[in-house]
Amino acid sequence: MDAAKVKELKVFVEQCRKNPAILSDPSISFFRDYLESMGAKLPPSAYTTESPRTRDVESEMMDEDEDLDEDIPSQKSGPELDESDDEIIESDIELEGETVEPDNDPPQKMGDAFIEVTEESRDASQEAKGKAIEAISEGKLDEAVEHLTEAIVLNPTSAIMYGTRATVYIKMKKPNAAIRDANAALQINPDSAKGYKARGIALSLLGKWEEAANDLHLASKLDYDEEINAVLKKVEPNAHKIDEHRRKYERLRKEKEERKLERERQHRRAEAQAAYEKAKRKEQSSSTRPGGSPRGTAMPGGFSGGMPGGFPGAMPGGVPGNIDMSKILNDPELMSAFSDPEIMSALQDVMKNPANFAKHQGNPKVAPVIAKMMAKFSGSN
């Protein structure tokens, strides 16, 4: 930011601190009004000293201001903040494929991973597995589970045993039990294709299509077989539908939020325009009454056509500059900025102590507004 302009702004704020009567200048009454709207407490000297005649004039001005207020669009006449879109209700997704009710049986017996497995235990485990395979071929699934549980207890370090029991649970339509065994198999061997395959199929039975597709793809990469491919042909279409559905509604919600933000921006612009119109009418009204200060006549402090000495834009030594306040009043961007509590708070902070300006220079919202005001005061567009 231009150092000279910063210096001018500090002079402006310091003058306001030393001589609050500067704020009684009608040409900057809009600025005083904004300070008051933000809760600033101004001393009596910030207001024009009233004589009996002046009080009569002020009384007339207040009456006229009420009339002006009636002409200014209310907040509701601008873009409606309540004009929200209808609530977004997600449609159902048409999915295909067999699903089952979750099984809620107590967890099956698992092996003790910390026991030492002897050669004798491994042989006994394989023998129990053989009996389980025979039972499966005969359709005796409960018996197969019993034999596999015996095999797991004898050799709890075998991922294959857990994976095999998981496949039996799938046949029994017990996906949660199958998932527990598949997780145990993958904990022992993270590259167990049998573990990913069993868990993927079990997840599909629960309707968890995206998770199922992920596990089945991993199983296929590790050890492809036709059964995995067949299941994927049923699972993937559902997973794609769910993904497209989610993306669609994420987009709709984002668009709705963007429309809301745009309405709020339009609303703030409308409020700023209304405030500008009111300030403009007040200025025009005051210039036609006794004691008014139209442009070209004496301003408070005896300066003609400009701001009191010491304001930004004034020449060194207190000689006033020729400042046209309409440049600010006719700038919707500045008027809109003045309605922002954060910007007005920063301006009040700087007015209390010009040295505080340094801490606001890094604020991308506040610094450009101050720079633009200073440009107006210095005569730039």
Question: pLDDT tens, 288-341?
Answer: 555 444 443 333 333 333 333 333 433 333 333 455 666 677 778 877 887 888
pTM for this model (two decimals): 0.48
pLDDT band at 62 (very low <50, low <70, confident <90, very high): very low
pLDDT surpassing 60 at residue 358: yes
| DSSP, residue by residue, 193-205 | HHHHHHHHHHHHH
Q: How far apart are CA 182 and CA 165, in angstroms?
A: 9
Q: Mean pLDDT across the stretch 128-133?
A: 95
Residues contacting residue 100 through CB under 8 Å, at least 6 positions apart: 173, 175, 205, 206
Q: Mean pLDDT across the stretch 82-108?
A: 78
| DSSP, residue by residue, 136-192 | HHTT-HHHHHHHHHHHHHH-TT-HHHHHHHHHHHHHTT-HHHHHHHHHHHHHH-TT-
Lowest-confidence segment of 6-20, 44-58, 169-183, 358-372 by average pLDDT: 44-58
pLDDT of residue 35: 73
Half-sphere exposure of 167 (CA within 13 A, CB side): 18
Distances (CA, A) of 128 to 62, 100, 148, 153, 197: 100, 30, 6, 10, 23
Residue 304: beta bridge partners? 298
How buried is residue 333: exposed, middle or buried, by Cβ count under 10 Å (0-12/13-18/19+)? exposed
pLDDT of residue 26: 76
pLDDT of residue 315: 34
pLDDT surpassing 70 at residue 79: no
| Segment 241-294, tens digit of pLDDT | 899 888 988 899 999 999 999 999 999 989 888 888 888 888 888 765 554 444
- Treating both helix axes as pointing N-terminal to C-terminal, what angle do 341-352 and 29-37 enclose, rounded to 10 degrees? 110
3-state helix, strand, coil in the chain (%, to 5): 65, 0, 35
pLDDT surpassing 60 at residue 209: yes
Q: Considering only residues 183 and 355, tell me which one the structure prediction assigns the higher pLDDT.
A: 183
User: Are the C-beta atoms of residues 209 and 239 closer than 8 Å to each other?
Assistant: yes
Domain 119-244 CATH superfamily? Tetratricopeptide repeat domain (1.25.40.10)
pLDDT of residue 347: 77
Q: Mean pLDDT across the stretch 124-153?
A: 95
Q: Mean pLDDT across the stretch 9-27?
A: 76
- With tokens 């907040």, the residue in question is 75
pLDDT of residue 215: 96
Domain boundaries, the chain: 3-81+261-377, 119-244
Q: Mean pLDDT across the stretch 346-370?
A: 79
pLDDT of residue 278: 87
Average pLDDT of the chain, as a whole number: 78
Highest mean pLDDT among 53-62, 164-173, 245-254: 164-173
pLDDT band at 206 (very low <50, low <70, confident <90, very high): very high
